Amino acid sequence: MRAAIFSFSARGAELSKKVAEYLHSIGYETELQTVAKYAEQTGIAPMLPDHNGACAAVFNKCQALVYVGAVGIAVRTIAPFIKSKLTDPAVISVDERGSFVIPLLAGHIGGANELSRCLAAALGATACVTTATDVNGLFAVDEWAARNRMVLCSLAAAKDFAAALVGDEKVGLYYDKEFQLTGSLPKLVVEDSSLPVGMAVTLQKHLQPFATTVRLLPKIVHLGIGCRRNTPLENIEALVLPELEKLQLDKRSVVAIASVDLKKDEQGLLAFAKKYNFAANFYSADELNSVAGDFTPSAFVQSVVGVSNVCERSAVKDSKGGRLLLRKTSLNGVTLAVAAENLVLDFARTGLKTD
């Protein structure tokens, strides 16, 4: 994760160093910039060519932007670059005395609210969070989804869900029977599919158990793929995409493809991963042989790569011992297996404070 921290005074520049120290402690790579007149005395890089240009350079590259200074400066600077709450980075304003930490943009999905609370605690400041669910102590479905690697399928449904909670109405919860639930449910959230509004944590991309359903797709699916040498991208798509459709799996639930390390330079396989924005992970024969389970054996594959099954073992390995949704299937020299991580739903896990 990357964060850019901007300051506009000597006092603000010194405080920005403390902000950077905290962000670094929780895993951010930080970049500090200040106005040119304070750069030399504070040892911080100058904003070039100016604060607007500096913002333009980092807005789409960073997960968090922190402005140490007046809220107005931050708002005017980021305004031209705001696009969507699904993609905008967390933007936070901190006054130069470090008294208040204010999330300005991407409070839930981008994590600005939770980051502001944690940063405020580190600075001894007060976090000024204004979103309705937060000020009323209610569950924020979009924030929880983002913190738990889930794709939020409808912002409109999420708004209706939040409005119901703010209106003191109960909302429903549905989740696939293969998932586990730990801990207690949030206030006003109940396991009742008869309610008009609810959330569904599911791998089934068309499931709508409520009249207004906030469907959350967990990113837990892994594709184990084997193929002949020089197999083109089109052959891989011809097998994988129809099989995902048969399983009613949305491509957005897929985390990665996986295979034996002999395939790590296979151009069709790498092109497929790149086209669909999947990670590509490769394992040695010894690593795949160590995976526990009952897999479809092939003496020929064993003789060539040193493991009796590539696709099933790769899928299970990459999913950290998950369950197979699809056993070995093949077409035109490509083999495929699909596995899903074992998912535990924990509504106490909302962000930095519990990670």
As given in the structure block, the two tokens for residue 15 are 């405080």
Contact 99, 128 (CB under 8 A): no
Kindly state whether residue 353 falls inside one of the protein's structural domains: no
| 18 φ/ψ angles, rounded to the nearest 5 degrees | -70, -40
Q: Which of 245, 246, 257, 248 is nearest to 221 (CA)?
A: 257
Cα–Cα distance, 354 to 107 (Å, whole number): 17
Given 187, 218, 249, the domain boundary residue is: 218
What percent of the chain has pLDDT above 70?
98
Kindly state whether residue 108 falls inside one of the protein's structural domains: yes
Given 130, 163, 178, the domain boundary residue is: 130
SS3 12: helix
Q: Is the predicted pLDDT of residue 354 greater than 50, yes or no?
A: no
pLDDT at 355: 39
Q: Model confidence at 241, in pLDDT bands (50, 70, 90)?
A: very high
- On whether both 46 and 115 belong to a single domain, the answer is yes
pLDDT at 353: 43
Q: Residue 79 is part of which domain span?
A: 2-130
Q: Is the predicted pLDDT of residue 351 greater than 60, yes or no?
A: no
Q: Model confidence at 185, in pLDDT bands (50, 70, 90)?
A: very high
Q: Which of 77, 78, 65 is nearest to 32 (CA)?
A: 65
pLDDT at 350: 63
- On whether both 172 and 227 belong to a single domain, the answer is no
44 CB-contact burial (10 Å; exposed 0-12 / middle 13-18 / buried 19+) = buried
- On whether both 9 and 125 belong to a single domain, the answer is yes
Kindly state whether residue 189 falls inside one of the protein's structural domains: yes
Given 96, 130, 164, the domain boundary residue is: 130
What percent of the chain has pLDDT above 90?
90
Kindly state whether residue 35 falls inside one of the protein's structural domains: yes
| CATH classification of the domain holding 303 | 3.30.420.180
Please give the tally of structural domains in the chain.
3
Count the residues in the chain: 355
Cα–Cα distance, 313 to 54 (Å, whole number): 47
pLDDT at 124: 97
Kindly state whether residue 352 falls inside one of the protein's structural domains: no
Quote the pTM value.
0.84
| 197 φ/ψ angles, rounded to the nearest 5 degrees | -125, 135
SS3 218: strand
- On whether both 111 and 211 belong to a single domain, the answer is no
pLDDT at 235: 97
Mean pLDDT of 136-151: 93
Mean pLDDT of 2-14: 96
pLDDT, tens only, 95-129:
999 999 999 999 998 999 999 999 999 999 999 99
- On whether both 236 and 331 belong to a single domain, the answer is yes
Cα–Cα distance, 94 to 284 (Å, whole number): 49
- On whether both 268 and 334 belong to a single domain, the answer is yes
| CATH classification of the domain holding 180 | 3.40.1390.40
Kindly state whether residue 167 falls inside one of the protein's structural domains: yes
pLDDT at 297: 82
Q: Is the predicted pLDDT of residue 301 greater than 60, yes or no?
A: yes
Kindly state whether residue 136 falls inside one of the protein's structural domains: no
